[in-house]
Amino acid sequence: MHPYRRIVEDVRRRIESGELRPGDRVPSARAITQEWGVAIATATRAHAALREEGLTVARAGVGTVVAGPAPRKEHELTRERIVATAVEVADRLGLAELTMRRLAAELGAATMSLYRYVPSRDELIVAMIDKALGEIRLPRRHPGGWRPAIELAARQEWAVFQRHPWLGSSMSITRPQIAPNGIRLSEWVLAAFDDTELDLEERMYAQIVLFTFVRGVASALEPEAEAIRETGLTNEQWLQTQESTLTELMDTNGMSHFQQLTEDGFDFGLDLVFEFGLARMLDGLSLFVRARG
């Protein structure tokens, strides 16, 4: 038996015993020369044999690695992990506070290491958008009729925007960042109109308008969250600090409506804005769909 067979068998045993798991690095050629007391040529032959049997794959610059779906080492730097952590940081601290340095610190890595996996901060944000949109779960079949379907989509979007306050202000309509999950969502909404007479262009406009509205409401979320973080004031408290300026302004200009509004107190909530706007929007769309039908 050639000496390299012994090495192969040893390694195979380690893999089968679970000592070495998919994605782990098998001893390098240098390490083999040390461990088994052989020449590097022998070690190389062992590597080749392992590779031939499909037990391992050679990854250039990284080493020979046990084949199979790698079960993600916890602290390995990975595009996936970077994006996930970035989302988490942005949710917690706001997009402005998501700096490459802070993100690296959060990951326990050096700043520049991130640039191996992400070409720039901007592209990282695109990846974050895609990940966030991926949370939207829509049934394969559209629930009865276009209106419930559209409403469902809008509510899902709104929910995601709320979970990720930074999302609304970072998405663009005119230049849709190529986020696969965004496109999937679009397709679903377009298809939701299949039971209407709307042509494709009209559907597209309906879709964009809906989305624009939801995002419009949502883009108030980030500044608000940021303001609360920074000043520690809730919205109401803040309004009170501004009250003197406001009343002075109103007094000098005779703004009766506004004045009464602040006197009566105004129960303001983005959720209510969303609900009110969505209802009007769907009503208006209904009229349009009916006119086409």
Partner DNA sequence: TACACCAACGTACACCGTACGCAGAAGGAG
Partner DNA sequence: CTCCTTCTGCGTACGGTGTACGTTGGTGTA
Interacting residues with DNA (CB under 7 A): 25-26, 28-31, 40-41, 44, 47-48, 51, 58, 60-64, 76-77, 98-102, 109-113, 115-116, 120-122
CB closer to its own copies out of 118 and 206: 206
Site string for its own copies, 264-283 (x = CB under 8 A): x-xxx-x-xx--xx-xxxxx
Site string for its own copies, 30-69 (x = CB under 8 A): ----------------------------------------
Site string for its own copies, 138-177 (x = CB under 8 A): -------------------------------x--xxxx--
Does residue number 114 form part of the binding site for its own copies (CB under 8 A)? no
- State the DSSP string of the chain: --HHHHHHHHHHHHHHHTSS-TTPBPPPHHHHHHHH---HHHHHHHHHHHHHTTSEEEETTTEEEE-S-----TT---HHHHHHHHHHHHHHH-GGG--HHHHHHHHTS-GGGGGGT-S-HHHHHHHHHHHHHTT----SSPPSSHHHHHHHHHHHHHHHHHH-TTHHHH--SSS----HHHHHHHHHHHHHGGGS---HHHHHHHHHHHHHHHHHHHTTHHHHHHHHHHH---HHHHHHHHHHHHHHHHHHHT-HHHHHHHHH-----HHHHHHHHHHHHHHHHHHHHHHH-
**Which of DNA, its own copies, none does 115 bind, CB closer than 5 to 8 A by kind?**
DNA
**Which of its own copies, DNA, none does 38 bind, CB closer than 5 to 8 A by kind?**
none
Q: How far is the CB of 66 from DNA (least distance, A)?
A: 12
Stretch that binds its own copies, among 123-131, 134-142, 154-162, 249-257 (CB under 8 A): 249-257
CB-facing half-sphere around the CA of 33: CA atoms within 13 A = 7
**Residue count, binding to its own copies (CB under 8 A):** 63
How many other CB atoms are found less than 10 A from the CB of residue 216? 13
Does residue number 130 form part of the binding site for its own copies (CB under 8 A)? no
Does residue number 206 form part of the binding site for its own copies (CB under 8 A)? yes
Does residue number 84 form part of the binding site for its own copies (CB under 8 A)? no
Measured between alpha carbons, how far is 155 from 163 in angstroms, rounded to an integer?
12
Q: How far is the CB of 252 from DNA (least distance, A)?
A: 25
Phi/psi at 185 (5° precision): -60, -45
CB closer to its own copies out of 74 and 267: 267
The binding site for its own copies (CB under 8 A) comprises 169, 172-175, 178, 180, 183-184, 186-187, 190-191, 200-201, 203-206, 208-209, 212-213, 215-217, 219-220, 223-224, 227, 235, 238, 242, 245-246, 249-250, 253, 255-258, 260-261, 264, 266-268, 270, 272-273, 276-277, 279-285, 287-288
